[in-house]
Structure 1
């Protein structure tokens, strides 16, 4: 667990510090990649990328989180208490929603400007640029779903497909934000690192739900003399 938290925390902290020292402006490599994207946007590609980028906002990420919750219940042996089952289904949704609040707060605190509005296409983003909300949300949703699939004991070929599609979708959503001109590349990298950090902090907590004392525990000891023969 330490590595899954410390590594993304350090990388996110270093990236954020570098951007702050640089005045939150784009690094040369970011400007070059942005310019390339703006210069290579045929209409068919923009339409395709516009569909991809929508996977990182609105309903799709929450559908993935709900699916992860149901997998947690199924793979955990379906606890008898209904409240526990509901809590397990809702836990990934709470992780995603709370993460979005965290990301939004950091975005406002950092206040990195977006690329010029003249370079935007097929998107009308709001707020500041770093870290990317779409990249973060898609990565957290994908991470929740992949984690729920891999922790199950009854895996089949479908699990490989889910893991591969989830990972590719998260990467594609992040890259789509650069292609549409609404984010600098390091915004996307920051969104991915923050997602990794958030998942590292929260995923170990979800399995603890079915260990709640309210869900039962070891039977109480019998009263003194209960087993005596008179």
Structure 2
């Protein structure tokens, strides 16, 4: 007979997240430097893509209205942060205090990094004679894209920690991929971000997730085990 499962999460190895952090950090830093230096080929590509998508957005008001609803309500950063808050409260209710702290801290750090980079780079947003939407503050990185990547990535991590079944995992993975990709595309479609703003947000969001996983598995994981009960049993 198998012992009854517990509420404590499993503890994956931190080696793969550490490697992923390196692999994500290099292109994120490179993209940041190219945007800051206003590298000509990159800026020209950004402008070409933005002009094309803006022309499509003006010509298709129905798709533009749907994009505004999705970006302003479904995939809005505050909606994503609310999902994170629900997950934090759920973890606290389960007694996983360190994991709840790590999750909340990651979201706060991501918001702080995002705002700091926006202020430091101070990249102007696209300007159109016939805008279909508006946004404020600097462009790089996209806050929508970065927040969606952070929250969706962390929620997927929690599902893995708590042993989500195959059906739930596949559904969550598909929904997360749709949300992260979709919010980035809506920001470009609506003409409020350059494509590299979105790519930068995705890279930086993924980097925050991998750093969160790495630091958690190498630090408070054992403390969470002591606080929350025994580790999950190993089935013979």
TM class by smaller structure? 0.7 to 0.9
Q: Is the 8 A contact 1:15 1:190 kept in 2?
A: yes
**Alpha-carbon separation, structure 2, partners of 1:216 and 1:90:** 13
Query: 1:63 pairs with 57, 82, 85, which one?
Result: 82
Residue 32 in 1 paired to residue 32 in 2? no
Query: 1:20 pairs with 21, 36, 60, which one?
Result: 36
Query: 1:127 pairs with 126, 137, 141, which one?
Result: 137
How do residues 115-194 of structure 1 correspond to structure 2 at under 5 angstroms? 115-118=126-129, 120-122=131-133, 124-194=134-204
Q: Compute the displacement of 1:39 (Å).
A: 1.0
Provide structure 2 residue ranges, at least 5 long, that are not aligned to the other structure. Answer: 1-16, 229-236
**Alpha-carbon separation, structure 2, partners of 1:139 and 1:92:** 13
Report SS of the residue matched to 2:150: helix
Residue 51 in 1 paired to residue 69 in 2? yes
**In terms of mean alpha carbon deviation, does 56-65 or 37-46 score higher?**
56-65
Q: Compute the displacement of 1:184 (Å).
A: 0.4
- More contact order relative to length (CA 8 Å, sep ≥ 6): 2
**Alpha-carbon separation, structure 2, partners of 1:26 and 1:188:** 14
Residue 2 in 1 paired to residue 7 in 2? no
Residue 106 in 1 paired to residue 124 in 2? no
Q: Is the 8 A contact 1:24 1:112 kept in 2?
A: no
Matched pairs, number: 208
Q: Compute the displacement of 1:112 (Å).
A: 1.0
TM, length-normalised to structure 1: 0.79
Q: Give the direction of change, closer, same or farther, for the CA distance of 1:94–1:120 in structure 2 (3 Å limit).
A: farther
Q: Compute the displacement of 1:22 (Å).
A: 2.2
Q: Compute the displacement of 1:156 (Å).
A: 4.1
